[in-house]
Structure 1
Amino acid sequence: MKHNFEERRNNRINYAHQRAAKSEAEADRLYNVSNDMASFIPLGQPILIGHHSEKRDRRYRERMRNVFGQSVAQRDKAAYYGEKAESIEHNNAIFSDDPDALEKLTEKLKTLQELQEFMKAANKCIKKNDKTAFLKLNRATEPLWEKLTTPDYANRTGFPSYKLTNNNANIRRIADRIAGLKKLEKKQAVDKTVNGVRIYENKDANRLQLIFKGKPYEDIRKQLKSSGFHWSPSEGAWQRHISPNALYSAESIVRNFKDIA
């Protein structure tokens, strides 16, 4: 299970890095296209109102602005995926089968919520150019003020919207995990036998386990794998994380096959 998790984690990191690099390259390309388009307009040349070229010139400039806007959007996307990769790499994951998972997740949720409120409050202060109010905020420092009030490549200041979006998504994800763990704690563990197969919710391992009398037939093994179950030699069971869907899948597989051995 640990190996599978690490493999998926590394795949997610590599994917995020690839998307960041691709978006960065596309941003550079679009920026260069925009610059090339601008080079055909003489420096300081206004639109000639009433001239036969007016409509064509306006369309050309609009296309140029659109290309530049696409470049900015790609740059934001590159930053988003770059931060996502970094977040995965440095994330101290809290596993649901950790005895202290609920306590750790609750603390993490509190930290993320405080960060979200700080970023929103900081952006308000920056919008008003109120440095005094900013420095009264928890987490605020002089260097951070200088950093946040220095315009980026698109002349924007403050925490970028994708930072708030990412953090808010993490808040929702952690809150959902907490709710799920609390619900799981209250629920009585399933432990029953259907068609000779034991269906057991091992809460200590946070795994739903299917324990067969012997090795199941190949078609059953394929069904198990396609439903997310993995063979655990140490447990002597086919298992996956506990969830309502896991139980539904287990019951469906076992009911559809008779005399499993």
Structure 2
Amino acid sequence: MVRNGSSYEKIPFRRFELTNLNANINRIRKRIEVLKARRETPPEGWDFEGGRVYMNLEEKRVQIYFDDIPSEEFRQFLHRNLSFRWSTYHGAWQRQISDTAIWAAHRATNRFLAEGA
């Protein structure tokens, strides 16, 4: 029970609790809209000089395929800085699909092209 003035009258919700609930409801509604839009227009991969980026929607992975083996320094960059992991099964560097993963794939391909690795 919450004390209301001088009596111990039961108050169902405090004012801040309702405000927080409304904010959470609105946040979740917006997130659902974003997820629906993403499902309707899935991200696409792209080709770059020296390889390609593929969006494997079945396995929910961003995969980077290189024509030749990248330098050791570049592979360390993929692993340590961008959280890509090597998949021997697919023969590609991969990471779970997300907006951040797509950004990381763009960053990796741009750096690969800049280094000429």
Task: Provide the residue aligned with 1:240 in structure 2.
Answer: 96
Question: Is 1:174 matched with 2:28?
Answer: yes
Comparing both structures, which one devotes a greater share of its residues to strand?
2
Relative to 1, partners in 2 of residues 1:208 and 1:161: Cα closer, same or farther, differing over 3 Å? farther
Could you tell me whether the CA contact under 8 Å between 1:200 and 1:209 is conserved in 2? yes
TM-score by length of structure 1 reads 0.33
Equivalent position to 2:66, from 212, 228, 231: 212
Specify the SS of the correspondent of 2:47.
Answer: strand
Q: What is the deviation of 1:191? A: 2.6
Could you tell me whether the CA contact under 8 Å between 2:61 and 2:94 is conserved in 1? no
Segments of 4+ in structure 1 off by > 4 A?
Answer: none
Could you tell me whether the CA contact under 8 Å between 1:195 and 1:255 is conserved in 2? no
Residue 35 of structure 2 aligns with an amino acid whose one-letter code is: L
Identity %: 26
Q: Quick check: which has more Rg, 1 or 2?
A: 1
Q: Deviations over 1:120-148 (max 9, x none)?
A: xxxxxxxxxxxxxxxxxxxxxxxxxxxxx
Residue 256 of structure 1 aligns with an amino acid whose one-letter code is: R
Q: Deviations over 1:4-49 (max 9, x none)?
A: xxxxxxxxxxxxxxxxxxxxxxxxxxxxxxxxxxxxxxxxxxxxxx
Q: How does 1:59-78 map to 2 (within 5 A)?
A: none
Could you tell me whether the CA contact under 8 Å between 1:201 and 1:242 is conserved in 2? no
Q: Deviations over 1:156-187 (max 9, x none)?
A: 83223454344334323422332222222232
Q: What is the deviation of 1:209? A: 2.2
Give the count of matched residue pairs.
109
Relative to 1, partners in 2 of residues 1:232 and 1:191: Cα closer, same or farther, differing over 3 Å? same
Residue 157 of structure 1 aligns with an amino acid whose one-letter code is: I
Specify the SS of the correspondent of 1:256.
Answer: helix
Comparing both structures, which one devotes a greater share of its residues to helix?
1
Q: What is the deviation of 1:231? A: 0.8
Could you tell me whether the CA contact under 8 Å between 2:61 and 2:95 is conserved in 1? yes
Task: Provide the residue aligned with 1:151 in structure 2.
Answer: 2
Q: What is the deviation of 1:248? A: 3.5
Q: What is the deviation of 1:254? A: 1.0
The unaligned stretches of length 5 or more in structure 1 are: 1-149
Relative to 1, partners in 2 of residues 1:219 and 1:164: Cα closer, same or farther, differing over 3 Å? farther
Residue 112 of structure 2 aligns with an amino acid whose one-letter code is: F
Task: Provide the residue aligned with 2:110 in structure 1.
Answer: 255
Q: How does 1:225-236 map to 2 (within 5 A)?
A: 225-227=80-82, 229-231=83-85, 233=87, 234-235=89-90, 236=92
CA RMSD of aligned residues (A): 3.4
Relative to 1, partners in 2 of residues 1:241 and 1:256: Cα closer, same or farther, differing over 3 Å? same
Q: Deviations over 1:88-108 (max 9, x none)?
A: xxxxxxxxxxxxxxxxxxxxx
Could you tell me whether the CA contact under 8 Å between 2:61 and 2:96 is conserved in 1? yes
Could you tell me whether the CA contact under 8 Å between 1:198 and 1:212 is conserved in 2? yes
Could you tell me whether the CA contact under 8 Å between 1:191 and 1:200 is conserved in 2? yes
Task: Provide the residue aligned with 1:201 in structure 2.
Answer: 55
